[in-house]
C-alpha cells in the first residue's frame, strides 16, 4: 500500500519501517501516526520476524510536529491529552506488544516523543553522531510517550530527573554508557551492524523471543513468586513448539538450527 510519510517493506522476515519526513526531521503528524500503526499491524500479520524502526535523513525523529497541532479548530486551546490518548499511547503499546523483536536504529537526533518512542523498542542501537533529548521541559510539558516510565527504569531516578528537568542533549556514547540504549556504533559501521542484527534475529526462534520480551516487561510489576509462575507457564508453552524441538535436535546433532518461528 502507498504511504505518504513512511517507507515500509518486509523481506526475508525483516520488516523495515522508515520515518520519511526528512525535511521536518521526521517529526510526527496525524498522517504519520496512522501510517505507522498500519505498518505495525502488517509486521505482526505478514510474516515479519523482526522490525527495524529508523528515520530518513539526518534525524531519527524530532517528536511531535508542533505545527500539526498549533491551533485547534475555532482557535480553541489544543487538548494535548487527547493527542496522547489517540496517538502516542497506542503507538507505544503497539511497539511493546508486537510479538517479535523491535530494533530502534537511531541514525540521528531523537528528541521529545521521538526519543521515548525509540526507548519503547526492544533494542536501541544508535550511530555515534546521534543524540537523545528530553525536550519537553523547554515547552513547559512533562515527558510523554512513556518517558516518565522508561527513563527511571533504564538510568535511575537521579539521571532521569536530570534528563527530564534540564532537557540537555545526551550523546549516543553517553546513552550507551548510562544503560539508556543497547549500543553505540560508529557511523561508518552503523548500517552494517543494524542489518547483521536484524538478519540474526529474523533467523531466531521468534515465539521464544516474543515471550522473553513479554516476561521481562511484565516483571517490573510482579513479585518474584508470580514471575516464577509466569516463567513456568511460558516454558510449558514453548516446550511444545517446533522451534524448541529443532533447537534440541540441532544441539544433539551439533549443527546450526533452522528455526521457523513456530
Give per-residue pLDDT as tens, 139-162: 999 999 999 999 999 999 999 999
| Cα–Cα nearest to 55, from 2, 96, 115, 11 | 115
Say how many C-beta atoms besides its own lie within 10 A of residue 135's C-beta: 21
Residue 245: all three cell numbers together: 524441538
CB 118 within 8 A of CB 60: yes
pLDDT tier, 69 (very low <50, low <70, confident <90, very high otherwise): low
* pTM of the complete model: 0.94
CB 170 within 8 A of CB 119: no
Residue 74, pLDDT > 90, answer no
CB 121 within 8 A of CB 150: no
Burial profile 185-204: b = 16 or more Cβ within 10 angstroms, e = fewer: beeeebeeebeebbeebbbb
DSSP 8-state symbol, 179? T
Domains and CATH numbers, the chain: 6-202 (3.90.226.10), 206-253 (1.10.12)
Amino acid at each position: 500500500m502507498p504511504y505518504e510519510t513512511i517507507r515500509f517493506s518486509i523481506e526475508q522476515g525483516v520488516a523495515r519501517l522508515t520515518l520519511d519526513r526528512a525535511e521536518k526531521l521526521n517529526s510526527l503528524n496525524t498522517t504519520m501516526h496512522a501510517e505507522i500503526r498500519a505498518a505495525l499491524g502488517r509486521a505482526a500479520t505478514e510474516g515479519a520476524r523482526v522490525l527495524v524502526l529508523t528515520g530518513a535523513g539526518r534525524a531519527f525523529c524530532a517528536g511531535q510536529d508542533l505545527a500539526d497541532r498549533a491551533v485547534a479548530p475555532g482557535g480553541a486551546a489544543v487538548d494535548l491529552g487527547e493527542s496522547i490518548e489517540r496517538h502516542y499511547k497506542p503507538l507505544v503499546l503497539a511497539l511493546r506488544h508486537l510479538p517479535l523483536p523491535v530494533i530502534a536504529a537511531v541514525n540521528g537526533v531523537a528528541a521529545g516523543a521521538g526519543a521515548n518512542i525509540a526507548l519503547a523498542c526492544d533494542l536501541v542501537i544508535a550511530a555515534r553522531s546521534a543524540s537523545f533529548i528530553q525536550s519537553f521541559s523547554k515547552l513547559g510539558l512533562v515527558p510523554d510517550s512513556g518517558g516518565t516510565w522508561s527513563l527511571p527504569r533504564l538510568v535511575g531516578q537521579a539521571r532521569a530527573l536530570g534528563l527530564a528537568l534540564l532537557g540537555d542533549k545526551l550523546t549516543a556514547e553517553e546513552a550507551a554508557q548510562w544503560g539508556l540504549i543497547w549500543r553505540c556504533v560508529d557511523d561508518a559501521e552503523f548500517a552494517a551492524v543494524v542489518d547483521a542484527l536484524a538478519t540474526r534475529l529474523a533467523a531466531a526462534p521468534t515465539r521464544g523471543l516474543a515471550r522473553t520480551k513479554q516476561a521481562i516487561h511484565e516483571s517490573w510489576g510482579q513479585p518474584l513468586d508470580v514471575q516464577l509462575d509466569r516463567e513456568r507457564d511460558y516454558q510449558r508453552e514453548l516446550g511444545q513448539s517446533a522451534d524448541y524441538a529443532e533447537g534440541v535436535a540441532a544441539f544433539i546433532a551439533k549443527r546450526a538450527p533452522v528455526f521457523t518461528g513456530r
